């Protein structure tokens, strides 16, 4: 599977995401946001973290209009893996590819911290392998408080779309129901605030982030 990583003006973690995707197998591609062909053919896409367009209007609000995002919408509809990390999660929510919204952190401060996540949706591969159930992955964001109206939350719960929650006592931003990441109904579009691309090497932290990428690869396998 060939992964592509989008790059907007103001993206920060696109090289990190490229590095992580490279560990999964085939050589990944960096895709400029004006490229509506997504580099001429990739199987899966990462919308990376950072501050696209400075997050000046509202996080992700401008990036969603780029030509590449139209193509990402088509990939999502076709059931291909789409992973939005941090600012990428915000972009996917703004684009309507994922439900809900990301608000400013409860204490109004940027927070960078290693946190524990629980992978708990039924589509999660975690059920079989208990060690993969609890992940150590860093967060770093100022607008990461996931919010959705109660009826949407009920739907997300019942359909198993809440892919990742912060472990008890670890919620860094005050998100509703400790939500760290959600999927679309089909499960091929995943957005999360923690940074799995910063958890792929024991030297710099943990390797738990790789399970997040593999989870999406498995959706289409």
Partner 1 sequence: MSTELAPHRALGLTDSEFELIVEKLGREPNDVELAMFSLLWSEHCAYKHSKKLLRKLPTEGERVVMGPGENAGAVDIGNGHAIAFKVESHNHPSAVEPFQGAATGVGGILRDVFALGARPIAILDSLRFGELDSERSRFLLDGAVRGIGHYGNSIGVATVGGEIYFEEPYEHNCLVNAMCVGIAKQDEMVRAAAAGVGNAVVLMGASTGRDGIGGASVLASAELGEGDEGKRPTVQIGDPFEEAKVLECCLELLAKGLLVSLQDLGAAGLTSSAAEMASAGGVGIDLDVARVPLREADMEPFEIMVSESQERMLAVVEPGRVDEVAALCEKWQTGCARIGEITDSGLVRVLRDGEVVGEMPVEALVDGCPLYDLEPAEPQGWVYGNRATLDPDASGEETMLALLSSPSIASKRWAFEQYDSVVGSRTVRRPESADAAVLQIPEAGNAIAVSIDGNGRRVACDPYAGTIEAVLECAQNLACVGAEPLGLTNCLNFGNPEKPTPAWQLDRSVAALADACEALGVPVVGGNVSLYNEGPEGPIYPTPVVGMVGELPDPSRATGSGFAAEGEAIGLLGPFEPNLAGSELAKLRGELDAGLPLPDVAAVAAACAVVRYAVREGRLSSAHDVSEGGLACALAESAFAAGIGCRVDLQHLRERGCTPEEALFGEGAGGFVVSGDRETLEELGAALLGTTGGTTIELAAGDRSFSLGLDAAAEAWRSLADRQTAPTP
**Catalytic residue positions?**
86, 195, 197
| Residue 134 binding partner 1, by CB under 8 A | no
* Minimum distance, C-beta of residue 105 to partner 1, in the bound complex (Å): 11
| Residue 128 binding partner 1, by CB under 8 A | no
Q: Considering the complex, state which of residue 153 and residue 212 has its C-beta at the smaller distance from partner 1.
A: 212
Among 56, 57, 129, 185, binds partner 1 (CB under 8 A): 56
| Residue 104 binding partner 1, by CB under 8 A | no
Which residues are registered as beta bridge partners of 83? 46, 190
Q: Considering the complex, state which of residue 203 and residue 221 has its C-beta at the smaller distance from partner 1.
A: 203
* Minimum distance, C-beta of residue 127 to partner 1, in the bound complex (Å): 30
Rounded to whole angstroms, how far apart are CA atoms 217 and 205?
A: 23
Among 25, 36, 54, 149, binds partner 1 (CB under 8 A): 54
Q: Considering the complex, state which of residue 28 and residue 100 has its C-beta at the smaller distance from partner 1.
A: 28
Q: Which of residues 162-181 bind partner 1 (CB under 8 A)?
A: none
SS (H, E, C) 16-74: HHHHHHHHHCCCCEEEECCCCCHHHCCCEEEECCECHHHHCCCCCCCHHHCHHHHHHHH
Among 108, 131, 150, 151, binds partner 1 (CB under 8 A): 108
Binding residues for partner 1, rule: CB under 8 A, are 9-13, 15-16, 19, 50-51, 53-56, 108-113, 138, 140, 142, 195, 197-198, 201, 203-205
């Amino acid at each position: 599977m060939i992964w592509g990583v989008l790059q907007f003006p103001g993206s920060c973690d696109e090289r990190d995401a490229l590095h992580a995707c490279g560990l999964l197998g085939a050589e990944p591609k960096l895709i400029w946001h004006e490229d509506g062909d997504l580099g001429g053919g990739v199987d899966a896409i990462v919308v990376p973290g950072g501050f696209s367009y400075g997050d000046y209007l509202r996080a992700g609000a401008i990036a969603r209009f780029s030509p590449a995002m139209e193509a990402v919408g088509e990939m999502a509809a076709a059931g291909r893996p789409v992973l939005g990390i941090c600012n990428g999660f915000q972009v996917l929510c703004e684009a309507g590819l994922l439900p809900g919204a990301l608000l400013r952190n409860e204490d109004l401060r940027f927070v960078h911290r290693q946190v524990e996540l629980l992978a708990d949706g039924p589509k999660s591969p975690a059920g079989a392998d208990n060690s993969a159930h609890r992940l150590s992955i860093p967060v770093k964001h100022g607008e990461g408080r996931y919010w959705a109206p109660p009826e949407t939350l009920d739907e997300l719960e019942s359909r198993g779309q809440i892919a990742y929650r912060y472990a008890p006592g670890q919620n860094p931003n005050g998100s509703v129901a400790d939500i760290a990441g959600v999927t679309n109904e089909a499960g091929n579009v995943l957005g999360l605030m923690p940074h799995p691309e910063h958890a792929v090497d024991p030297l710099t932290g943990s390797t738990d982030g790789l399970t997040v990428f593999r989870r999406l690869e498995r959706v289409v396998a």
